[in-house]
Amino acid sequence: MPRGRYLSNMQTRTIASAVVASALLASGLSGCGAAPKSAAAAAAATAAPVSRGPAAAEVAALLAGAYTSAEQAKADPEFFEVELHMVPIWTDRADGKWLYVEQAMATALDKPYRQRIYHVVDAADGAAESFVFELPNAAERVGAWKTPAVFNADKAETLTKRDGCSIRLTRAADGWTGSTTGHDCPSALKGAKYATSEVKLFADRIETWDRGFNEKDQQVWGAKKGPYRFTRVN
């Protein structure tokens, strides 16, 4: 391939990556592009204590770590190289497991397109559920996965919950699997009406497939071929 054409394609892919990055807002355990819940309502939602148990603890342990989709991106140019970091925070709380999540293109690690807080709790039937929250001070927490103690200055009651976008996870033969429920996770991204997220957790990787659909149930954003595969780095 001529060098000039190659550079043009790379530039096109870089521009496309920015678009895809915004669409990946649910990449992972679902940002979904949902309308945020008020801080006051979120505070009420997180006030009731939930006992820590084996489901939440196991799921949180599988989530925590550093991941990359580099191998998948190298094999298939339709997928981008993305880095994903999830670290435990507020470990002294007794209402479940809390993690800070940061996701960025490998070419722009200082400009993450997604920052979230996950709250993983036990369900009565042995399952686990991961609720998704936005941070009020996300810009100040870029790169905070390196120093999670900074979250000691923050409070869960100030977070904004993303209604309808939680992930319910159940045990599988070799890990955990889960998804959002029906059309419950709203999304307005690129003309979408709702978003869906499918997640599989393994000891060595995480697979996430996040897609947005319009009112005619036509996909308008997200990967079309299948889930992103994030390989555990540590």
Residue 37, both tokens: 């819940």
Number of domains in the chain: 1
Q: Which residues contact 204 (CB under 8 A, 6 or more apart)?
A: 231, 232
Statement: residue 18 has pLDDT above 50: no
CA–CA dist 137, 184 (Å, integer): 26
Statement: residue 118 has pLDDT above 70: yes
* Cβ atoms 52, 94 nearer than 8 A: yes
Statement: residue 215 has pLDDT above 60: yes
- Of the candidates 51, 122, 38, the one whose C-alpha atom is nearest the C-alpha of residue 93 is 51
**Residue 115: exposed, middle, or buried by beta-carbon count in 10 A (0-12, 13-18, 19+)?**
buried
**pLDDT band at 186; cut points 50, 70, 90:** very high
The per-residue pLDDT for 9 is 42
* Cβ atoms 97, 56 nearer than 8 A: yes
CATH of the domain at 64: 2.40.128.590
CA–CA dist 169, 74 (Å, integer): 29
The whole domain housing 160 covers 3-232
* Three-class DSSP category at 179: strand
The per-residue pLDDT for 34 is 45
Give the chain's mean pLDDT: 84
CA–CA dist 96, 113 (Å, integer): 26
pLDDT digits (tens, 9 = 90+) for 132-165: 999 999 999 999 999 999 999 999 999 999 999 9
